[in-house]
Amino acid sequence: MRIVLGLVAGLMLATGATDARSGSSVLFIGNSFTYADSSPVRFYRAATVTDLNGEGIGGVPALFKSFTQQAALDYDVFLETHPGAGLDWHLEHKLGVIGGRAWDKVVMHGFSTLDYDKPRDPSKLIATSKQMADFLRTRTPKVELYLMATWSRADQTYPPTGAWAGEPIDAMARDVRAAYDKAAASAEVKVVIPVGEAWTRAMKTGVADANPYDGIEPDKLNLWAHDHYHASAYGYYLEALVIFGSVTGRDPRSLGENECSAFELGFSRWQAKALQQVAFDQLASAGAVALDALAAPKAVNRVRCVKP
């Protein structure tokens, strides 16, 4: 692996030239939790982002792009994703794609159980996060790196065969966050994006239901998809909000209850507002966002919303 990294990095440095781009570039490296499997977000506004694998994905990166446009921020958004992949897969198969240009910011994550073959074991995540960080820095020494800690899977918690069976629903998210903290320290990454903790907060504050296996309580959101593994559109929306706040430092609530992507995905104003509040509260608890002066929400501009 070290030999491969060195060869690819050397090639990128030798051929590297100044990249012409209008805004700050952001690359998302991930799997189905990034490309939004099992939800309408998967192909949402795909034309607004660049899928480096040419699969027509919009996903969470497209939600992030939409938020930044509404906030009058200029980001060029790219993604490189593969189903069921940890960072080890991207290191083995996609360094040529990932290293094809310099990046200003990179948001990345590993497999949801930390290791597909050894659930709960953080060793592979820690090692591969450092390898990917080292590789990215050979191309752009000052690249800003973000590791995204993912959510508790209901299918790993409530069924007796799950890796977190019998534990509280927030246990998996806590363990995943602890693993990402170790990975961040090893890779010298300053920011861990607390998506899993935001999901837990949504459940604890009554915004979302905590157990989809016993039905969804009235007036609560189901953050999981039908498989109790991937996210629903609500879950991916919350993920994107937390990423937006982490990367930009902006208050997610400043998007307002009439935020365009929520409107296009069929959310009510209450649902958009509640998820934005959860994202803000989670980020604010760690001092990760600045408190914006919130203006009264404007009416949805239907033309602006339907046209990317």
Q: How far apart are CA 217 and CA 233, in angstroms?
A: 18
Length in residues, the chain: 308
Q: What is the pLDDT of residue 289?
A: 87
Average pLDDT, the chain: 91
Q: Higher pLDDT residue, 6 or 215? A: 215
226 occurs within a structural domain: yes
Q: What is the pLDDT of residue 290?
A: 77
Q: Give the confidence band of 11 by pLDDT, cuts at 50, 70, 90.
A: very low
Between β-strands 50-51 and 191-194, what pairing exists: parallel, antiparallel or unpaired? unpaired
DSSP state of 154: G
pLDDT digits 0-9 by tens, 259-291:
999 999 999 999 999 999 999 999 999 989 877
Q: What is the pLDDT of residue 305?
A: 72
Q: What is the pLDDT of residue 122?
A: 98
152 occurs within a structural domain: yes
Q: What is the pLDDT of residue 4?
A: 45
Q: For residue 36, give its domain range.
A: 23-306
The total number of structural domains that make up the chain: 1
160 occurs within a structural domain: yes
The CATH number covering residue 73 comes to 3.40.50.1110
**Rounded average pLDDT over 67-88:** 97
Question: What's the predicted TM-score (pTM) here?
Answer: 0.91
10 occurs within a structural domain: no
65 occurs within a structural domain: yes
pLDDT digits 0-9 by tens, 197-220:
999 999 999 999 999 999 999 999
Residue 238 has pLDDT above 80, yes or no: yes
Beta bridge pairs of residue 26 = 77, 105
DSSP state of 208: B
Q: Give the confidence band of 300 by pLDDT, cuts at 50, 70, 90.
A: low
pLDDT digits 0-9 by tens, 15-69:
333 333 458 999 999 999 999 999 999 999 999 999 999 999 999 999 999 999 9
Evaluate whether 95 touches 5 at the Cβ level (below 8 Å). yes
What residue spans of 47-169 are helical by DSSP H?
Answer: 59-70, 87-93, 95-98, 123-139
% of the chain at pLDDT higher than 90: 85
Q: Give the confidence band of 183 by pLDDT, cuts at 50, 70, 90.
A: very high
Q: What is the pLDDT of residue 23?
A: 86
Q: What is the pLDDT of residue 293?
A: 57
3 occurs within a structural domain: no
